[in-house]
Structure 1
């Protein structure tokens, strides 16, 4: 028997989802059903099943042959990974083609399971669930652009509003326009006139879902030199992106900066994705465009959770899981959450609900780099956190999480390795990250990174105007030069007079 690696959560049962789209077919094997799912294995093929469906009414025969062969591999990979369940969903091309039922029947025989062919309404529903699961909270219009169709649906918190499915997928537009992005734009404009729900999105976010839009955002990242190579929650400003989208929609992409970072198989559909996005912007007038890495597949996975699990905070659950896997003590991490909250209150620092969430997550992540060489713990932790597959956090929030951990290891006034992230975070987040890092630098030297002592530490206001960090008498041996030095750094950062004291004794250190 092969022992399971400790790098995986022990209570998870792997499952697989195969998503049969009009352009791509993807197998994703998940560690288990979870609020913030972790991918064990991910593979896709660009089959192009929906290519030519407008003129022939059938799935592309060569694509069918390739897909059927690939299903054998997908089934074998799912079994090899130990997946206990295999779910298969199919979307626009499979439900619309006259030879779709025959294709599905052949695929079911190979995969050994029933394939769920989603209706347009179901596809929109699961796409909306994917967006709801990935943002905290979602509020706007979700648009899922596939190869065969575009699903638009209103999302607000956990509520799913009006939705519509339109025949505006990238492959379909390419066929309908006879490879003319200009003609495609006119087709899109006419079809979007039926999407009255877009008017309700004015001034709200448009969530862009689907591979074509993700690659469009990737090109925008490459062209602008964006410092964080994370797709989920990437924000594209309306005015700043207008000329970019118009250039792509004209098909003028071969010499664009960063185009080499986009797969050649994906480039052909970029102009159609840009054309659709431009028309949506014109009809909806959103506040901005936010990219979602989660869509129908993740929405389907989210639907398998209990209502209680669906209500969990995805960022906090993912951070706690990482603490379980990598920290010396997850109990110590939870103690940090409580103590830092009390510390901010003692310093008179107020938090918004979002800032409290991010501080909570940062505390859970504060010790994930302890196995690295001491001189590299800060930069390693920064890179792990900044590029982790977190959901429920925007990019400035990611920068805060990474910077708090960086300052905790590297010092409060070190910038070199973190300059790109400090530029991405807001000035307020940088200030908060330094303060949190300073608090962590003090308390880690009093706890030896183990639980038990942190709940016994407290802040006391003194008559001389100082704020004292009081160590219980039972742990008096923990005082010394090192924590005193760290407190001096915190005093310098905050401009406060701080004291380190043992309960029942005079202050042993004062700093300002």
Structure 2
């Protein structure tokens, strides 16, 4: 049983006593598909693991010419996911959270693959960026290891990427993701068996060069007098720790969590693995099936990272992305509260960071967000049935809708889409970022259209409906602060279903202001709202006295 209080969390005190929750988390990695099924006790808060499942599918084994995921690999993945669903069902899991990382993210047909999973299995899989993957790995490690407020460096070597993170249980200071992974490197650089000296030297130099930027980002955020411990997670490091422990202890250890592998021993293993054929590596005691093919490349990544970081050992943590997905779900669903402020506000902090970066008028953006959320709340259950998740996306879009001005005033709504889409917002999935970017894109000018590539990028009809309806609300909110001076204090909504009419009562901030520009803008922009919701909108300016009453 893992107690999250020791990791800096506490149970939400305002929540009523809740029953145990059972959920499953799936990680569609470049090398393997993993699932963990857990029971959450919201009163502690804590979760215990029922089962772990793993299948080596090799999504990273893509078509060398097109970069597409191969049909036979996708078939294997879908068969594995179907099996995972059946296992989760036997434990009565109420939901399955699934995320996909670099292999699916980079494949041109990656989104088609996710569409297929959704249509065949009814399973929604979220794409996450490299930085978001690093953030959730941090959450997973933090949930399984006591940091004691001391800085730790976390390294996670996957099949397609390597994440290096610096954190201290309060917040990650650095989140990095580099496109070097065990499967990727093996496929691109190793053609001989055993590896030739020239390929080995080139591979080591390439990995060193690729990791330098990430390591530099980490080292610059370590303060004077701090000596962070290196923590390693996931398959490559687990395997290296396992074969090292088996050789030293002459037996299978009961747990590898906390096992320390020295740089000196690692270098010894790299030298030995480089001289072996794949068949010989397969025979090493403790070597998992199919891991032998990619273990050398993964070991080189760890060796070069440790050398660049200047550390002499790595400590294994058995928790990583999958557990981080569980913790993130618990946070977003109010089952735990971050006492140290970081996790629960990551979305807000990330959005506000972008706001500062692009020099957006924060007062105007905040007013637009207030109007947008007010209209959302007043029309909820009447014109739409979206919930808190969609409300959060609308807030982010309202805050960032004008960021495109950073590039140019002309067509700034299109620039806003680009900046948001490529801004690495943390705490959001790729799908959620796509929705936010589209909402901002359609705060003015043309409404959403199927011919627009950005609108077609949305994964499902449901996502497109979110954009159509909430962007219509955002348009009205922008109109209500047309002069960007706070001329309007509030807006009240009333719906008359028998005549399909919506009345908006607009209250000015000053009694002598007729708000003519805002009223004109509202009238100009209401057409999209009327078409989307099938209503007629009538806006009237009320007196300040009425607003007070």
**Band the TM-score falls in, shorter-chain normalisation:** 0.5 to 0.7
Which position in structure 2 is the counterpart of 1:222?
246
**Is the CA contact (8 Å cut-off) linking 2:165 and 2:176 kept in structure 1?**
yes
SS at match of 2:31: coil
Which position in structure 2 is the counterpart of 1:273?
298
Which position in structure 1 is the counterpart of 2:156?
144
* Counterpart Cα distance in 2 of 1:114 and 1:255: 40
- Among 122, 135, 143, the residue aligned to 2:132: 122
Q: CA deviation at 1:284?
A: 0.4
Q: CA deviation at 1:172?
A: 0.5
Deviations for 1:311-343, whole angstroms, at most 9, x for unmatched residues? 79xxxxxxxxxxxxxxxxxxxxxxxxxxxxxxx
Q: 5 Å matches for 1:31-180?
A: 31-32=39-40, 36-52=46-62, 55-137=65-147, 139-179=151-191, 180=195
Q: 5 Å matches for 1:409-488?
A: none
**Is the CA contact (8 Å cut-off) linking 2:68 and 2:110 kept in structure 1?**
yes
**Is the CA contact (8 Å cut-off) linking 2:133 and 2:321 kept in structure 1?**
yes
Shift in CA distance, 241/42, structure 1 to aligned 2, threshold 3 Å: closer
1:301 aligns with 2:326: yes
Give the ranges of 4+ consecutive aligned residues of structure 1 lying more than 6 Å apart after TM superposition. none
- Among 273, 280, 286, the residue aligned to 1:261: 286
- Among 184, 187, 208, the residue aligned to 2:203: 184
Which position in structure 1 is the counterpart of 2:219?
199
SS at match of 1:231: coil
Q: CA deviation at 1:69?
A: 2.0
Deviations for 1:329-387, whole angstroms, at most 9, x for unmatched residues? xxxxxxxxxxxxxxxxxxxxxxxxxxxxxxxxxxxxxxxxxxxxxxxxxxxxxxxxxxx
**Unmatched 5+ residue regions in structure 2?**
1-17, 340-549
- Among 17, 27, 47, the residue aligned to 2:35: 27
* Counterpart Cα distance in 2 of 1:149 and 1:258: 27
Q: CA deviation at 1:84?
A: 0.8
* Counterpart Cα distance in 1 of 2:316 and 2:337: 21
Q: CA deviation at 1:139?
A: 2.7
Which position in structure 1 is the counterpart of 2:307?
282
* Counterpart Cα distance in 2 of 1:225 and 1:305: 38
**Is the CA contact (8 Å cut-off) linking 2:39 and 2:48 kept in structure 1?**
yes
* Counterpart Cα distance in 2 of 1:43 and 1:240: 30
Aligned length, in residue pairs: 304
**Unmatched 5+ residue regions in structure 1?**
1-9, 313-512
Shift in CA distance, 244/143, structure 1 to aligned 2, threshold 3 Å: same
**Is the CA contact (8 Å cut-off) linking 1:52 and 1:175 kept in structure 2?**
no
**Is the CA contact (8 Å cut-off) linking 2:152 and 2:228 kept in structure 1?**
yes
**Is the CA contact (8 Å cut-off) linking 2:59 and 2:69 kept in structure 1?**
yes
Which position in structure 2 is the counterpart of 1:14?
22
* Counterpart Cα distance in 1 of 2:330 and 2:65: 41
Shift in CA distance, 96/159, structure 1 to aligned 2, threshold 3 Å: same
Q: CA deviation at 1:70?
A: 2.3
Deviations for 1:445-473, whole angstroms, at most 9, x for unmatched residues? xxxxxxxxxxxxxxxxxxxxxxxxxxxxx
SS at match of 1:293: coil
TM-score by length of 1: 0.55
Q: CA deviation at 1:157?
A: 2.2
SS at match of 2:26: strand
TM-score by length of 2: 0.51
Q: CA deviation at 1:256?
A: 7.2
* Counterpart Cα distance in 2 of 1:164 and 1:148: 14
**Is the CA contact (8 Å cut-off) linking 2:31 and 2:59 kept in structure 1?**
yes
Which position in structure 2 is the counterpart of 1:213?
237
